[in-house]
Structure formats: C-alpha cells, structure tokens
C-alpha cells in the first residue's frame, strides 16, 4: 500500500474525496497520483472535475486521489500541508496561490524548480510575460498557474438595488457609503460580511485599502514606499470602520452564507472574488438576473484596477510518484486543462490562446480587463505575503471586526507586525 499511516490519516481527516474518478479499492497503489487542494464544493469542485477528466483521458492507468481539506479559503488546508511537508510526507502535487505564498516552501527546499516544464511546454511564450516574471524567483519558477481570479469585485442584487433607488454601481468609496445608507433605509443591510475564519473580512479590507489610496500607494505598501503608519492607511481604516457599520449583525458567517444575503435580497453589496459567481451559478442563479457586478469602488485611479490572484500547482521534492505529478502539471498548463477548469471554477485561463466562447459574460469581460487594467496583487490570497504574513494580516483585521471596529491604533500596529512576520 502506498499510503503510510500518516498519509492515510491526512487524506481521511482532510475530508478526502478518495477516488474522484477511480474506485477506492484501486486508489491506493504505487502508481496513483495524490493531489492536495481545498476545492471541495460548488464551482471549484466542478472545475477540478473538468481538469481531472482531461488528466484521466491522457493517463488512464494512473488512479487519482484528491486529498481535499475544505474551509476558510485554504487556511485549513495550509495547516495540514505544512505538517505533511515538515514530516517528509508530501503529496505528489499541491495547490498554492502563486506569489509570496510559495516562498516558505522554496526557502525550505521543499519544491522543485519547474523551469524545464516552461521550456518544454512553451508556457513562457503562451503565459503573459508579466505573470511569468512575477512567478520567477532567482531565475527559477516553482509553480504552474491554472487560472487568474479577480479579487476586487462588487456584487449586488438588481431587485434590492431597485428597491433602494440605486441605479448604478458606486464608483468611489464615498458613493458606496451613500448607497449603503439607501439600502439601510429600506430595511436591507448595506453590505454582506463574512467573519468566519477572518480571511473574508481581511479580503474586504484589502479591497478598501486599494480603493482608498489607489494602486500606486497600495503597491508601495509591499515595497516600503508607503508607510503602514502613515495617513493613507489611517484613512483606509476609517473607511473600513464606516463600511462595517452597515453590515449584518452575525459575525460568524462563512462567505457562501454571506453571499446568500445578497442574492436573497437581505443585503445590498458584497465584496468578494469572482469565484462567488461560479458558486451562485452552481446554486442555479443567473448572472445579470439574480446578481450583477462591477469593479470595486476606487477613489484615486483614473481607470479600472484589477486585483489578481492565481491558483497554481507544485512539484514537491520527495513526491512518491514524481512522474504522475509532472503529468498533472502538464495538464494544468495545457489549453485543454485550463479551458475545462476555468469556466466552471469562475476564473479566466492564464493562457493567452484560451477560447473566450467557453466563458460567460462576466469572465469574457475579465479576460479583456486582465489585459488592459492596472494590476495589483491580493494580499489575502498569497501574492504579497507568505503564509505567516497572511495569517497575521487576517487575524489583525478579524480582531478589528469582532471588536466592533473601534481599535484603529491597534489594527495599524498589528498590520505593521504582519509585514514584519512576512519578512521574517
């Protein structure tokens, strides 16, 4: 049996979907592929199934094990993964956000350089040059991105907006505050808030930071050009406190439940990544009818800004079935793999030759805007911070939210500490 006791425990307790495409009796063999993700339901599970089908067709003799750890946008999965990697018990490949999130694994020498695949598969010519540059560390690339998500999306229910007398999406944070007051006046919460696990509230704050100070100063937070103790961050924290005051009373909702407040007409706005759309579509809702969208408000930038993140896969050192891991990575970067995965996941392909006809109206718009908008990275989803920095950042904003958004000085001090944690 390939799975030792530790590995089997990780698969079982991680809400493993064993034998996604093969019977369980055939899954635990020396030639299986074990991948590790946090994609457990809705559009993300459907997208993974689409890419899995491509893999199985190309590799019919390789049983497939999806060790999935659900919940908290990957926070739960990352904890299990860190333990497995430290114990020398890696899966054959694991999901991670592209960017600084991978830096800890790279520094620890736990993942292989994949530059050879970029050359053999031609990805350095078919992936956007700017993205390849961001993925490169010391001349090496350690992951294969399967998608691009947009984080700074404003969602709302057209029927609820009509009831509140709102006819267009707010373009600035001040306009958003005015609209949230209109929602409140007709008995609808101004914004849906998801406090479960801190990350979704931190996601909201990340978008508010960007909207308040603009892309140049936001990017400066990660290079040292913008001070976390300066007036720009203080202004963003003030906006955040005002926005939170319009939210739902429950502070323990997971993001899908918070989203249902919007689609059900009980809350006005929802700031969440575009995976929300695939979740709602998997629930049977219709884009532009039951919900609609716009770029999140921005006070500074003259044109639209695209806050991006990317799911990617790696090749851990010491993987039991390295060849199967490489075969999976080839599917991840392939045209067939990405166009089978992304329309269902609610994201766009990394490849520039993707078939736009396979994507819905929102995703087609995202494809165009990815090529033209100013790009900034999502802090909560691994572009700007490593795991330690992200955990500290999420915790800081979560504490501010559950504490009634009163301790602004404490929040800023904790954000400074999060920056230090990411650099340690």
pLDDT in tens, 256-279: 999 999 999 999 999 999 999 999
The pLDDT, as a whole number, for residue 71 is 61
* 6 pLDDT more than 70: no
Q: How many CA atoms lie within 13 A of 333 on its CB side?
A: 25
One CATH from 3.40.190.10, 3.30.70.120, 3.10.180.10, 3.40.50.300 for 5-148+311-353: 3.40.190.10
Instruction: Give the angle 7-328-40 at the CA atoms, nearest 5°.
Output: 60
Q: Where are the domains of the chain?
A: 5-148+311-353, 150-307+375-423
Task: Spell out the residues 6+ positions from residue 236 whose beta carbon is closer than 8 angstroms to its own.
Answer: 205, 208, 209, 212, 213
Q: Which neighbouring-strand residues pair with 306? A: 375
Q: How many CA atoms lie within 13 A of 182 on its CB side?
A: 19
On the question of a common fold for 5-148+311-353 and 150-307+375-423, the answer reads yes
Work out the average pLDDT over 127-136: 88
Please return the burial class of 372, using the count of CB atoms within 10 Å of its CB with bins 0-12, 13-18 and 19+.
exposed
Backbone angles phi, psi at 371, to 5 degrees: -85, -20
Q: Which of 84-93, 393-402, 408-417 has the lowest mean pLDDT?
A: 84-93
- Domain 150-307+375-423: CATH architecture, name and number where available: 3-Layer(aba) Sandwich (3.40)
The pLDDT, as a whole number, for residue 10 is 37
């Amino acid at each position: 049996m390939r799975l030792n006791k530790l590995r089997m425990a990780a698969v079982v307790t991680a809400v493993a979907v064993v034998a996604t495409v093969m019977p369980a009796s055939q899954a635990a063999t020396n030639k299986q592929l074990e991948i590790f993700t946090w994609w457990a339901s809705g559009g993300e599970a459907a997208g993974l199934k689409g890419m899995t089908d491509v893999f199985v067709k190309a590799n019919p003799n390789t049983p497939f094990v999806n060790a999935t750890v659900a919940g908290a946008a990957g926070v739960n999965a990352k904890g299990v993964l860190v333990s497995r990697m430290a114990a020398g018990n890696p899966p054959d490949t694991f999901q991670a956000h592209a960017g600084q999130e991978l830096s800890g694994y790279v520094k620890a020498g736990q993942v292989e350089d994949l530059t050879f695949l970029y050359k053999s598969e031609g990805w350095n010519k078919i992936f956007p040059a700017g993205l390849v540059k961001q993925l490169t560390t010391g001349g090496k690339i350690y992951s294969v991105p399967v998608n691009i998500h947009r984080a700074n999306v404003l969602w709302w229910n057209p029927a609820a907006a009509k009831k509140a007398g709102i006819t267009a999406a707010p373009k600035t944070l001040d306009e958003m505050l005015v609209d949230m007051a209109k929602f409140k006046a007709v008995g609808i919460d101004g914004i849906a808030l998801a406090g479960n696990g801190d990350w979704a509230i931190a996601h909201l704050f990340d978008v508010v930071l960007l909207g308040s100070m603009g892309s140049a100063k936001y990017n400066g937070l990660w290079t040292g050009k913008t001070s976390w103790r300066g007036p720009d961050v203080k202004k963003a924290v003030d906006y955040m406190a005002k926005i939170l005051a319009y939210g739902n009373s429950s502070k323990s909702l997971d993001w899908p439940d918070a989203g249902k407040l919007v689609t059900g007409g009980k809350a006005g706005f929802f700031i969440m990544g575009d995976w929300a759309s695939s979740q709602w579509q998997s629930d049977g809702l219709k884009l532009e009818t039951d919900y609609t969208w716009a770029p999140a408000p921005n006070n500074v930038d003259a044109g639209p800004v695209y806050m991006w993140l990317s799911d990617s896969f790696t090749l851990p050192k010491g993987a039991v079935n390295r060849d199967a891991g490489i075969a999976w990575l080839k599917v991840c970067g392939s045209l067939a793999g990405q166009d089978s995965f992304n329309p269902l996941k609610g994201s766009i392909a990394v490849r520039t030759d993707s078939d736009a006809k396979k994507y819905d109206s929102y995703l087609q718009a995202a494809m165009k805007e990815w090529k033209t908008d100013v790009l900034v990275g999502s802090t909560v989803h691994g572009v700007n911070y490593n795991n330690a920095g992200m955990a500290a950042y999420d915790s800081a904003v979560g504490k501010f939210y559950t504490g009634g958004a009163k301790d602004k000085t404490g929040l800023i001090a904790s954000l400074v500490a999060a920056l230090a944690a990411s650099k340690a």
